[in-house]
Each structure stands twice: as structure tokens, then as C-alpha cells.
Amino acid sequence: MTNKDYTGQAQAIGQAVSQVGLSGTLYLDVDPEQGFFRAKLVVTPEGYKGQLTTGLANMLAQAAGMMNLQTKIYTRDTGGVKK
């Protein structure tokens, strides 16, 4: 994929998101020395929080897989570990 293709896709996603009125802030707490980070997502409208949180976790898992890192996601609401 070229940079031009990526930019076009990013713009299309941004337009789709703005049409549903989705906005918010992603807070990242990072400790590079310990290899630790956590994220907090604040989203409006509130109903998208779960879907967006899960989507971001899955995107991160895919990116980690590309770097040959095994990923395990613990989901608090179900208490289960996936992947």
C-alpha cells in the first residue's frame, strides 16, 4: 500500500466517523523502561466506547503480530482471555 492509498483510507474513515458524531480523547500512560503502557479512552457518544476500545485493542494485537509478538487480550467484562 502506498502512502497515498493510506492517506485516502484514513480520510474516508475520518469522514465516516465524523458523520456519526464520534469524538473523544485517547490517554496513554507509557513507561518505556518497563515496557509498559495503558490507555484510557473517553468517547462521545458514550455508546461507542466498548466497540472502539475493542477495535483499538484488536488493531494493536495485529500490529504486535506483525512484529512477531504473541498477544493475549484480557477483557474484564467477560473475564476471558482471547488470542
Q: How far apart are CA 44 and CA 60, in angstroms?
A: 22
Dmax over CA atoms of the chain, in Å, equals 41
Per-residue pLDDT band at 83 (split at 50, 70, 90): low
DSSP classification of residue 63 = H
How confident is residue 41, by pLDDT bands cut at 50, 70 and 90? very high
**pTM score of the predicted model:** 0.72
Residues of the chain with pLDDT > 90: what percent?
A: 45
Q: What is the pLDDT of residue 19?
A: 84
Residue predicted with more confidence, 43 or 5: 43
